[in-house]
Structure 1
Amino acid sequence: MSEIAVVAISVAKPGYEEQLRQALEGIVGPTRKEQGVLQYDLHRDLQEPRRFVFVERWESQEALAAHAKSAHIAAYKQAVTDWVEHSEIRVVSKIV
């Protein structure tokens, strides 16, 4: 299967921006060591600082699926349940 990209957005509840930022930063290192990851970069929206955006590239859908089942992602999801107002994940493929 061909390379895929992901845009993952998490919006912190008011007052939880720094807790969410720290939790997101905590998954960057382990994820960058996973098999099949090509890019895993965390960004913060300049106009809406509660909004955090991951820009990701994966070798395959299977690599992304393994990432979603990883222990550090499971721990992250459990930790941030009360801190996230909204999250959205878009999986896309490059056209040009």
Structure 2
Amino acid sequence: MSEIAVVAISVAKPGYEEQLRQVLEGLVGPTRKEQGALQYDLHRDVQEPRRFVFVERWESREALAAHAQSAHITAYRKAVADWVEHAEVRVVSKIV
């Protein structure tokens, strides 16, 4: 298995910042308990408070794929569909 990292960004539509924040915070506990989850930290952009950033580390692509299909992530996508202006997920590998 090869460890991978993820940077996942969600930008709330104006007026939905706090609702999105609460839902994102709710993902942390269940995700940290998933098999293969090494790191799952939620951040908020200091200069753009509508932008939330997850910094994640996973044991493998398979663990990440299972996470993407988990019940709490599926429910999250449905719950916030109208609150998110932009979402982006980047899978990266560490160089140094």
The TM-score bracket by the shorter chain reads over 0.9
Does residue 11 of structure 1 match 2:21? Answer: no
1:38 aligns with 2:13: no
Q: Displacement, 1:83?
A: 0.2
Give the whole-Å Cα distance in 1 for the aligned partners of 2:95 and 2:62: 20
Percent of aligned pairs sharing the same letter: 88
**CA deviation string 1:47-85 (max 9, x = no partner):** 000000000000000000000000000000000000000
Counterpart amino acid of residue 91 in structure 1:
V
Point out 4+ residue stretches in structure 1 off by more than 3 angstroms: none
Q: Please list, as runs of the form range in 1=range in 2, the aligned pairs for 1:2-81 lying within 5 A after superposition.
A: 2-81=2-81
- 2 CA distance for matches of 1:14 and 1:72? 24
What displacement does 1:22 show? 0.4
Aligned positions, number: 96
Equivalence map 1:77-92=2 (5 Å): 77-92=77-92
Give the Cα separation in 2 of the matches to 1:89 and 1:75: 17
> Structure 2 unaligned runs (5+)?
none
Give structure 1 stretches of 5+ with no counterpart.
none
- Give the counterpart letter for 1:76 in structure 2: Y
Measured on the aligned residues, the alpha-carbon RMSD in Å equals 0.4
What's the CA shift for 1:95?
1.1
- In the alignment, the residues of structure 2 paired with residue 76 and residue 69 of structure 1 have an alpha-carbon distance, to the nearest angstrom, of 11
Q: Secondary structure at the match of 1:90?
A: strand
TM-score normalised by L of structure 1: 0.99
